[in-house]
Amino acid sequence: MYAYTAFGGCPLTWNGFSVEAFSGLWEFLKLSSASGVMLCLENWYYRILVLMTGQLENATIAIDALSVCMTINGWEMMIPLAFFAGTGVRVANELGAGNGKAAKFATQVSVAQSTVIGLFFCVLIMMFHDYLAYIFTTSSSVLQAVESMSVLLAVTILLNSVQPVLSGVAVGSGWQAYVAYINIGTYYLIGLPLGIIMGWVFNTGVTGIWGGMIFGGTAIQTLVLIIITARCDWEKEAEKALFSVNKWSKSNSNGRLESSN
């Protein structure tokens, strides 16, 4: 990618390195850091699920079954993650161009498409819940454990078909820090304690831990993001983005004039 950019692949936009590369670097760093924290909080949440399952009595089968489910979920997650990247770029471009309605339309289309795909895989898992684990094992105990968790897997896939797209909208709109706080509240202050209560207090094992973390964390976080996105004033967001772009362009123009002088 560097070679393509630097050696002629982008003749209209790449003019070589200059001091301008460092303009606005602090603002970019703040956005990138917030985005990194936002994504880390989401990824660590599911890693904690595996760690918590490992603390259960006779956890070997539970870990095996959960690993199968998380692997299947990870395969399907590649599709919503692609929507995450594409939606973030498209929304950012439309807002930066002052097109609030176009940003809203891109959000609606992306969420609808990803949800339909998630529903397809959700139904597929429910239809073939008896055979899911045969890709990985022939152990009857693991097969039975995966089958018992197939409903949770289907719900997780459906929620994860919506949530990453909304996170992409947040990235494109510059809401990373805001969503990071939402993730802390929903995942770690609601979902994680609920998973602990369901798993150990009510003695429901890995199913309770996973169910508590999904319905207490991921579902609430997705609902909050839906409400925020639905109530967003896209025209106002476009005005804010356009103001930032114009301010940045003016700053760069002044810097070039000072350099030429």
Structure tokens at 195: 């998973």
What pLDDT does residue 252 have?
59
DSSP structural state of residue 240: H
What pLDDT does residue 164 have?
93
Q: Which residues of the chain have pLDDT under 70?
A: 245, 247-261
Is residue 103 within 8 A of residue 237, CB to CB? The reply is yes
Look at the block and give the residue holding tokens 């579902």.
Answer: 219
Quick one: CA dihedral 249, 254, 255, 261, positive or negative? positive
Rounded CA-CA distance 182/254 in Å is 38
Is residue 112 within 8 A of residue 87, CB to CB? The reply is no
C-alpha closest to that of 187 among 196, 175, 200: 196
Rounded CA-CA distance 219/78 in Å is 19
User: How many CB atoms lie under 10 A from the CB of residue 3?
Assistant: 8
Q: Cα-flanking dihedrals φ and ψ of residue 49, to 5°?
A: -60, -45
Burial grade of 63 (CB within 10 A; 0-12, 13-18, 19 or more): middle
What pLDDT does residue 257 have?
46
What pLDDT does residue 24 have?
78
- Digit-coded pLDDT (tens) for 122-145: 999 999 998 989 999 999 999 999
What pLDDT does residue 215 have?
93
What pLDDT does residue 186 have?
94
